[in-house]
Amino acid sequence: MDPELNDTGRRQALVVARRLSREAKPAAVYSSDLKRAAETAQTIATACGVSSLVLDPALRERHMGDLHGLAFDDAVRRNPEIFSSYSRTQEIPGGGESLDQLSKRCVSYLNTVAEKHKGERVIVVTHGASTEELCIHADPTSPVRGKLYNTSICVFRIGGGEWILEKAGDVGHLDQGEFLEDAFGGDGVSA
């Protein structure tokens, strides 16, 4: 699905944009081309004074094939075998991606971005499963699966084929009472 941000998502995008604008200026902002990520990325780019905003389908959420658009619990009921065994190569019927395919897509794209921006800071806006896969690629022992909030910040240092996960799931910019209830698992249309 490709919903727009809701009001909570727009507020979260503003808060993360404010935080990122106080850090070193990025050379560019890259984002999934899906509406909620693209709107978040535009908010960040504006706050950071960055004119280079690149939207790319390589940063989209995992393609869920026949399960696309279903709530997680409904997807599990419909195809329990996909979720009952943890296999990184298990494709989802109807053209859905395996975790390995998702990881390869996202890692390959970020390696290309890192090569283009050697020594520069960039901001990448993507989705939950994509971010989890990037974290796991950088640090296979990372306990991020199912623990990343919307607009959480992960910091990677990429160079020469090496990936270092410096920070994962930082939500210091979110007001604990207002956003965290909506940011994790939420309605799927916040940031």
The enclosing domain of 112 has a CATH number of: 3.40.50.1240
Are 88 and 110 in the same domain? no
Average pLDDT, the chain: 90
Are 75 and 118 in the same domain? no
Q: What is the DSSP string of 101-151?
A: HHHHHHHHHHHHHHHHTTT--EEEE--HHHHHHHHHHH-TT---TT-PPTT
Are 20 and 87 in the same domain? no
Domain of residue 18, residue span:
7-62+97-180
Whether 89 maps to a domain, the answer reads yes
Binding site members? 36
pLDDT in tens, 10-51: 999 999 999 999 999 999 999 999 999 999 999 999 999 999
Binding site members for substrate? 36
What are the residues whose beta carbons fall under 8 Å from the beta carbon of 167, sequence distance 6 or more?
153, 154, 155
Are 82 and 164 in the same domain? no
The Cα 183–Cα 173 span in angstroms is 12
**Residue 183 confidence (pLDDT) above 60:** no
- Mark residue 104 as left, alpha or beta (left: phi above 0; alpha: psi -120 to 50; beta: remaining): alpha
Helix (H, G, I), strand (E, B) or coil at 52: coil
Specify the number of domains making up the chain.
2
Are 56 and 112 in the same domain? yes
The Cα 35–Cα 30 span in angstroms is 13
Q: What is the pLDDT of residue 161?
A: 85
For residue 149, the one-letter residue type is: Y
Whether 33 maps to a domain, the answer reads yes
Are 54 and 77 in the same domain? no
Whether 77 maps to a domain, the answer reads yes
